[in-house]
């Protein structure tokens, strides 16, 4: 598929000045400038954030009310429960708040809804159960902002609710004791994009300040806060970057028995954003997806090494089961798409009996990546159907579904990802209307864009300069790994690896050989041959082989040189 390469405009004089003033390479200076980081102070905070770079937690609306209500619960040893989500953000949120409050003398219970039976967020049956167990205070984490009816119901049963969340509120806020969410319309907090666990961290920081605790009493949980923040794909800038950068240092020396066990099982040698995103997050998320949400929480809460090892083995199994189910659904979905020529459509909407609705969202994401079209996958369960969808930049999935709500029982999410439920009999109507809507939006004109930081030459392929780019870690949303273009390279060798899946190249600039790898680009081996002149867009990385380091290009796209 053709991709558009969009080059950043670079002011060479500014690059020289920033590089000289900050004693960094011009390559790193260019990337920082492209991200809007130009002054010495901004660069210092971005590259070397400290605990002094956190904002005052009391700038968050209702924080003072929430803190006072929790301190009252601590004084009275009130029966308090933390109600959280089943994903990494929710699990880490419960972990941090439960551990912190237990050390203050309040041993909270917890409730995590089952993804397969209850779905996301507050529900009345859960609140009824909580009331029967004698709880008088609910603190929500990573959920609750849309639970208007549920918060009222809790109140009618004599339960106070403190909402802490980071999702978009509805027009009306829940009638809770306090609503701590920086996406409130009346929020004046300097940073709006904390993860759910980031909001919990600010709550512990606020309680710590009120009680005049040493900073270490809330900072010591930054390893867990960092895991939730990176996993939730929030923008890794501003306060999230401080959390992630400082947190990764704590992950390396973590005292959390469960996290240590999980890190060992992941097999990653280095601790960075990749380790969290691909080694830790999938294992924790697999618990919720497969219906065993409490196992991941137990792992983070345990102090017993043997128990941690046993739970880690379970998480590995759930993740393996999830991968097997995902592979099966993916293969079946691709077959449906090809047999029905849906790749020619503007959208892809498919359904099947027996698909696991805890996994179809991942498959939908892969389908969208492959075909660059919005996709919705639906699993049929008797007369009912549940679905999950993913979109492409420029097509608002939530807005699209609002135009076909007549066929839906329920839907929610945002521009890029949604969940939905409907009657099975309405599936074909949804399929037809969604395709019509996508066609009217002329999706064919939307191309995948690769943002290019700089055109590089041989002098940039310096091991020290490439290693210096690691100062930009942790990478994630709003701080992607930088992509560079190297022009007029001659193909010295080219072959496909892993049964045609990946691409391996050696490229020549004059007499210098440059190694390159292209993951999931094996099809390019049919389009190019030895001797061709090409431009490559990719990331620079260090390849270590037999104890020798060399610079390698991790290719994202290729085009012929002109």
**pLDDT per residue over 542-556, tens digit each?**
988 877 889 999 999
| Residue 417 included in any domain | yes
How many domains are there within the chain?
4
CATH (domain of 481): 2.40.50.460
**pLDDT per residue over 113-168, tens digit each?**
987 777 778 999 999 999 999 999 999 999 999 899 999 999 999 999 999 999 88
pLDDT for the residue numbered 1: 67
Identify the helix (H) or strand (E) that includes residue 486.
strand 484-497
Please report which confidence band the pLDDT of residue 44 belongs to, taking 50, 70 and 90 as the band edges: very high
CATH (domain of 82): 3.90.1640.30
| Residue 362 included in any domain | yes
| Residue 388 included in any domain | yes
Please report which confidence band the pLDDT of residue 416 belongs to, taking 50, 70 and 90 as the band edges: confident
Note whether 179 and 119 are same-domain residues: yes
Q: Per-residue pLDDT averaged across 273-302, rounded?
A: 93
| Residue 475 included in any domain | yes
Average pLDDT value over all residues in the chain: 94
Q: Which of 423, 445, 467 is the last residue of a domain?
A: 445
- Select from 53, 89, 97, 33 the least CA-distant residue to 190: 53
**pLDDT per residue over 421-479, tens digit each?**
999 999 999 999 999 999 998 887 788 899 999 999 999 999 999 999 999 999 988 89
**pLDDT per residue over 85-107, tens digit each?**
889 999 999 999 999 999 999 99
| Residue 256 included in any domain | no
pTM, to two decimals: 0.89
Q: Per-residue pLDDT averaged across 294-310, rounded?
A: 96
CATH (domain of 362): 3.10.310.30
**pLDDT per residue over 324-349, tens digit each?**
999 999 999 999 999 999 999 999 99
Note whether 375 and 422 are same-domain residues: yes
Q: Per-residue pLDDT averaged across 280-302, rounded?
A: 93
Q: How many helices (H) and strands (E) does the chain have?
A: 20, 18
pLDDT for the residue numbered 121: 83
pLDDT for the residue numbered 386: 92
Q: DSSP states of 105-159 as a string? A: T---EEE---TTTT-SS--HHHHHHHHHTT--EEEEES--TT-HHHHHHHHHTT-
**pLDDT higher than threshold 80 for residue 246:** yes
Q: Per-residue pLDDT averaged across 181-202, rounded?
A: 96
State the distance between the two ends of the chain, measured CA to CA, in whole angstroms: 19
Q: Which of 217, 242, 270 is the last residue of a domain?
A: 217
Q: How far, in Å, CA of 370 to CA of 339, rounded?
A: 16
Note whether 100 and 213 are same-domain residues: yes
| Residue 287 included in any domain | no
Note whether 488 and 405 are same-domain residues: no
Q: Per-residue pLDDT averaged across 78-89, rounded?
A: 95
| Residue 524 included in any domain | yes
Note whether 13 and 62 are same-domain residues: no
Q: Per-residue pLDDT averaged across 183-192, rounded?
A: 95
Would you state the torsion angle of the CA atoms of residues 62, 66, 68, 74, taken in this order, to the nearest 10 degrees?
Answer: -170
Note whether 133 and 212 are same-domain residues: yes
Q: What percent of the chain has pLDDT over 90?
A: 85
Q: Per-residue pLDDT averaged across 514-523, rounded?
A: 94
CA angle 400, 406, 412 (to 5 degrees): 50
**pLDDT higher than threshold 80 for residue 402:** yes
Note whether 84 and 194 are same-domain residues: yes
Note whether 59 and 207 are same-domain residues: yes
Note whether 419 and 469 are same-domain residues: no
Note whether 20 and 150 are same-domain residues: no
Domain that holds residue 21: 9-38
Note whether 209 and 60 are same-domain residues: yes
| Residue 561 included in any domain | yes
Is 464 within 8 Å of 550 (Cβ atoms)? no
Note whether 69 and 199 are same-domain residues: yes
């Amino acid at each position: 598929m053709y991709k558009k390469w969009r080059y950043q405009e670079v002011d060479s004089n500014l690059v020289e000045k920033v590089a000289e003033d900050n004693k960094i390479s011009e390559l790193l200076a260019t990337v920082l400038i492209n991200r809007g980081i130009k002054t010495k102070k901004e660069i210092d905070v971005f590259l070397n954030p400290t605990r002094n770079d956190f904002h005052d937690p009391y700038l968050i609306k209702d924080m003072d009310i929430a803190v006072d209500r929790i301190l009252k619960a601590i004084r009275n040893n009130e029966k308090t429960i933390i109600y959280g989500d089943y994903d990494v953000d929710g699990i880490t949120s419960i972990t941090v708040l439960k551990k912190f409050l237990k050390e203050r003398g309040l041993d909270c219970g917890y409730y995590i809804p089952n993804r397969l039976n209850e779905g996301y967020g507050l529900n009345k049956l859960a609140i009824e159960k909580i009331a029967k167990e004698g709880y008088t205070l609910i603190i929500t984490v990573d959920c609750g902002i849309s639970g208007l009816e549920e918060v009222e119901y809790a109140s009618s049963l004599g339960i106070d609710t403190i909402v802490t969340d980071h999702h978009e509120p509805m027009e009306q806020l829940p009638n809770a004791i306090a609503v701590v969410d920086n996406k409130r319309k009346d929020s004046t907090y300097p940073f709006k994009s904390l993860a759910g666990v980031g909001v919990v961290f600010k709550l512990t920081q606020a309680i710590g300040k009120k009680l005049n605790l040493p900073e270490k009493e809330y900072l010591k949980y930054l390893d867990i806060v960092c895991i939730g923040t990176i996993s939730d794909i929030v923008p890794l800038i501003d306060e999230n970057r401080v959390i992630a950068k400082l947190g990764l240092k704590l992950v390396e020396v973590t005292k959390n028995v469960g996290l240590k066990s999980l890190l060992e099982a992941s097999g990653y040698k280095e601790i960075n954003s990749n380790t969290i995103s691909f080694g830790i997050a999938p294992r924790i998320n697999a618990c919720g997806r497969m219906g065993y949400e409490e196992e991941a929480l137990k792992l983070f809460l345990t102090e017993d090494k043997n128990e941690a090892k046993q739970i880690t083995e379970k998480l590995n199994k759930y993740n393996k089961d999830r991968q097997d189910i995902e592979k099966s659904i993916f293969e079946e979905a691709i077959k449906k798409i090809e047999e029905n020529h849906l790749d020619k459509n503007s959208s892809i909407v498919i359904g099947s009996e027996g698909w696991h609705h805890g996994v179809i969202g991942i498959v939908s994401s892969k389908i969208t990546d492959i075909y660059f079209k919005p996709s919705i996958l639906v699993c049929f369960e008797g007369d009912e159907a549940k679905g999950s969808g993913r979109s492409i930049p420029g097509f608002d999935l939530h807005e699209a579904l609002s135009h076909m709500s007549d066929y839906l029982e329920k839907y929610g999410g945002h521009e890029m990802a949604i969940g939905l439920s409907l009657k099975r009999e309405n599936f074909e109507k949804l399929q037809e209307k969604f395709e019509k809507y996508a066609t009217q939006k002329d999706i064919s004109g939307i191309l995948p864009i690769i943002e290019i930081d700089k055109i590089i030459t041989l002098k940039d392929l310096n091991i020290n300069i490439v290693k210096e780019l690691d100062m930009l870690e942790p990478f994630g949303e709003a701080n992607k790994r930088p992509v560079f273009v190297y022009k007029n390279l001659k193909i010295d060798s080219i072959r496909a690896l892993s049964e045609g899946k990946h691409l391996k190249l050696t490229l020549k600039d004059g007499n210098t050989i440059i190694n390159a790898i292209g993951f999931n680009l094996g099809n390019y081996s049919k389009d190019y041959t030895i001797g061709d002149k090409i431009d490559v867009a990719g990331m620079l990385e260090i390849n270590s082989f037999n104890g020798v380091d060399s610079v390698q290009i991790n290719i994202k796209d290729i085009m012929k040189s002109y």
